[in-house]
Chains A and B, each alone.
Chain A
Amino acid sequence: MKKLITLSLLALGSTVLAQGTTIEFWHTFGDAKRSDWIAARAADYNAAHPGVKVTAVFRGDSNETLQSSILAARQNKAPALVQVDGVSSQLALDSGVFQPVGGVKSVDFGDYLKPVVSYYTVQGKVNSVPFNSSSPVLYFNKDLMLKAGLDPKQPPTTFGGVLKACAKFDAAKLGVKCMALTPFSWLFEQWMSEQNAVLVNNNNGRTGRATSTNIDSAAGRKVYQFYKDLQDQGYLTNTGKLADTVGTNAIFTSQKALMTINSTAGLGNILDGAKQNGFQLGVGVLPIPDGSKRNGVVIGGASLWVAKGASKPEAETALDFALFMTNTANMASWHKLTGYYPVRSSSVDLLRKQGWFSNSPLQIVAFNQLLKTVPNVANAGALSGATIQTRTIIEQGMQKVLGGQSVDSAIVSASEQANAAIAEYNKNFK
């Protein structure tokens, strides 16, 4: 309620007489590095387009931003452009306050990376402009690897490879855990995709509303088993909190673990940590279950949505700004700053020309992993309005396995709970 009131007060305050076009862009980056970059792009854009004013506003985390945008839209005060987390795409669609960007004006998405665009395409329509995209990779400590007699040039690429490397590392008795890994549903989703398994039915919710999950499947069990194997052998560590990537990264950069699996978007910070603690950082592809053919990663991150309630000039300005912010040069600079993918092929070419990959070879791993992804239903990612809840359920299941429960009982109950959550969400539409 308090939020609603501040919101409406703010909305009142920002009503400006239509002289030229003024729009707001609500985003989720509170840190100086990323929010300053966005503010600078808005300033660039305003300078290049006299009479048009784009204001970038930080609106809290992704959940808060979505909530504020939707409440504002219900009072006809919607910001013209909103950054929405990929995981909330179905919610954004169901809210009915956004419009597919293709409807504003025709956009050529040919230059955008295919797996990225495919994530934001529903039933043939591109709903939003891809912005910040990432996927998980294996981070490892080269110095510790050498100390244990492992080859840092050949990091493990499969679950079995990880366990083998851990066995050897453990035998070296360095008093350091092998793998820092938090119970993290985002990784579960990635591993489903790599095994060409959907996460929810109806083709990952893309041909119809999802009604059940595929958590309890051979593919899902392999992921839970991986957590169990690491834990049973005493290779695993984390902070104990669900999805605590910050804490896990801290353990890794403090050299209390040999490896960790995390988003490429964390590369900048992990690299800083490695420098501070004085070790050589290595990056490898995401290790996957043995015997699976790599089906590619699901794009994590967020995209830019245009409000339905925006007037035509406002909507066009919003889309134009979104395209400007994700143009070739801007995406290259965004990538260098943060570790997020540049979402355009031309940006990748530009970076290559600038010699970025030979100077920062760590980045290339993530690229190849993404560029090798051939879009299909599984790696397009799941659409479901209950994803935030099902993520917690998947993570609690992982935690149960780490606490000693069998994979079977943990995954069966996770699957039941997740199906119930989806059914509960779908009741909203009856």
Chain B
Amino acid sequence: MSLVRPTPKSRAVRAKAIRSQEARAEAAAAQEHATFRGRWLPWLFLLPTLLVLAVFSYYPAARTLRLSVFRANLIVGNEQYVGLQNFAELLSSPVYHQVIVQTLIFVALVVVLGLTFALSLAWLASKPIAGAKFYRLMLIYPYALSPAIAGTLWLFLFNPEIGAVNTLLDALIGVKPRWLDNPFLAFALVVVASVWKGLGYNVVFYLAAIQNIPGDVMEAAEIDGASAWQSFWRVAFPLLSPMTFFLVFTNIVTSLFDSFGLVNILTRGGPVYGETGITTFLVYQLYEDGFRNFKTGAAATQAVLMLLLVVCIVAMQFRYGNRKVHYGA
């Protein structure tokens, strides 16, 4: 987003966008005041939502916070107060350091590759060509698969001895890569599988955003003699930035948390490299400790650390949300 150099045109578009946005916000504010008379009425309407959130989100979150300062084993059913020892152990553990680093690399790769790929495909699929609808449908379909099914599919495809991929590679160029125990390949495989898995979601949103770009703006660019690349990069891309911004954050959160299903089936966190498995990401480590090794206290500590991470991400989202983004369309 920061790569966009403001041109006179884009600046004009931006100013217009900001003006219309402000006008809309004012109208909305006026409407709000008009609807609710009493002070308690809005709270009354919010009550059902708050109740559901309290039971299913706030209460468990509070329990998790509490549990993070205990040594607890789910099976044994014990709770021993240990203060911040869980945090100290975790943050000084070389295993956890490696998990943090590989999670960050994984998230960065998935977000950048995923969005680049999705935007390119959505751009191509939005061209008026024969069968465009079919292409769009096919692009969206991986999203409909559950992570477990996607994981199983990839597992069969990349079985080094009998998988379709290696059978093909062996026949064509005589190599049979070790996809699941070569650390580099396994990591790359999980990244590519995650990108593929998220592609449908990203393409849908980009397609919608592309269709919302006003035709006159694109036409003006064309009349001004912009090449295809220029009209994409200088006009369309800035206009798509609210969508890109939204997708960056949803993709960060998805790759942080939803990578679990894929990893669990495809690699089980392996292969081992350095201190631990190279595809053991934060959420998988949490699962291992909490649900396979039953270390509930240690898992709660990790959940708290992940919560802090999400808080940082949300803070960033609010902070940068209005600066670099053009809400033009």
Taking beta carbons and an 8 Å cutoff, which residues of A are in contact with B?
A: 1, 63, 66-67, 70-71, 74, 91-92, 94-96, 177, 180, 237-243, 247, 250-251, 254, 256-257, 385-386, 388-389, 392, 396, 399-400, 402-403, 421, 424-425, 427-430
Question: Which B-chain residue is minimally distant from A97 (CB atoms)?
Answer: B77
Stretch from B23-31, B135-143, B251-259, B290-298 contacting the other chain: B290-298
Taking the complex as formed, is B102 at the interface, i.e. its CB lies under 8 A from any CB of chain A?
no
| Chain A hits for B180, CB < 8 A | 239-241
| Chain B hits for A94, CB < 8 A | 75-76
Bound Cα distance from A243 to B75, whole angstroms: 24
Interface mask (B172-193 → A, CB under 8 Å = 1, otherwise 0) = 0000001111100010000000
A256 touches B161 (CB 8 A): yes
Stretch from B120-128, B217-225, B269-277 contacting the other chain: B269-277
A63 touches B159 (CB 8 A): no
Q: 8 A-B residue contacts at CB 8 Å? A: A1-B60, A239-B159, A241-B266, A241-B270, A251-B161, A385-B75, A425-B73, A428-B76
Partner of A177, one of B161, B179, B271, B293: B161
Taking the complex as formed, is B21 at the interface, i.e. its CB lies under 8 A from any CB of chain A?
no
B77 touches A70 (CB 8 A): yes
B179 touches A240 (CB 8 A): yes
B311 vs chain A, min Cβ distance (A)? 20
A321 vs chain B, min Cβ distance (A)? 25
| Chain B hits for A240, CB < 8 A | 160, 178-182, 186, 270-271
Taking the complex as formed, is B162 at the interface, i.e. its CB lies under 8 A from any CB of chain A?
yes
| Chain B hits for A421, CB < 8 A | 293
| Chain A hits for B74, CB < 8 A | 67, 70-71
Bound Cα distance from A257 to B291, whole angstroms: 35
| Chain A hits for B20, CB < 8 A | none
B77 touches A95 (CB 8 A): yes
Bound Cα distance from A389 to B298, whole angstroms: 14
| Chain A hits for B288, CB < 8 A | 392
A144 vs chain B, min Cβ distance (A)? 14
A contact face: mostly helix, strand, loop, or mixed = helix
Taking the complex as formed, is B234 at the interface, i.e. its CB lies under 8 A from any CB of chain A?
no
B188 vs chain A, min Cβ distance (A)? 13
Partner of A399, one of B75, B77, B181, B292: B181
B contact face: mostly helix, strand, loop, or mixed = loop
- Nearest first, the 9 A-B pairs at minimum CB distance are A240-B180, A240-B181, A396-B272, A256-B161, A251-B161, A254-B162, A1-B60, A91-B75, A389-B293
Known: A63-B291, A428-B76, A428-B80. A399 touches B161 (CB 8 A): no
B197 vs chain A, min Cβ distance (A)? 19
Q: A239-B180, A240-B270 are in contact. List 17 more A-B contacts (CB 8 A).
A: A91-B294, A95-B77, A96-B77, A240-B179, A240-B180, A240-B181, A240-B271, A241-B266, A241-B270, A242-B268, A250-B162, A257-B161, A389-B292, A396-B277, A399-B270, A399-B272, A402-B181
| Chain B hits for A66, CB < 8 A | 75
| Chain B hits for A177, CB < 8 A | 161
Interface mask (B237-268 → A, CB under 8 Å = 1, otherwise 0) = 00000000000000000000000000000111
Bound Cα distance from A3 to B291, whole angstroms: 12
Taking the complex as formed, is B14 at the interface, i.e. its CB lies under 8 A from any CB of chain A?
no
Taking the complex as formed, is B326 at the interface, i.e. its CB lies under 8 A from any CB of chain A?
no
Question: Which A-chain residue is minimally distant from B271 (CB atoms)?
Answer: A399
| Chain B hits for A91, CB < 8 A | 75-76, 294
| Chain A hits for B179, CB < 8 A | 240
B75 touches A427 (CB 8 A): no
A241 touches B293 (CB 8 A): no
| Chain A hits for B60, CB < 8 A | 1
| Chain A hits for B155, CB < 8 A | 239, 241, 247
Bound Cα distance from A241 to B264, whole angstroms: 11
Question: Which A-chain residue is minimally distant from B273 (CB atoms)?
Answer: A403
Bound Cα distance from A237 to B181, whole angstroms: 11
Taking the complex as formed, is B78 at the interface, i.e. its CB lies under 8 A from any CB of chain A?
yes
Known: A66-B75, A250-B162, A386-B293. A396 touches B270 (CB 8 A): yes
| Chain A hits for B266, CB < 8 A | 241
| Chain A hits for B294, CB < 8 A | 67, 91
Question: Which B-chain residue is minimally distant from A389 (CB atoms)?
Answer: B293
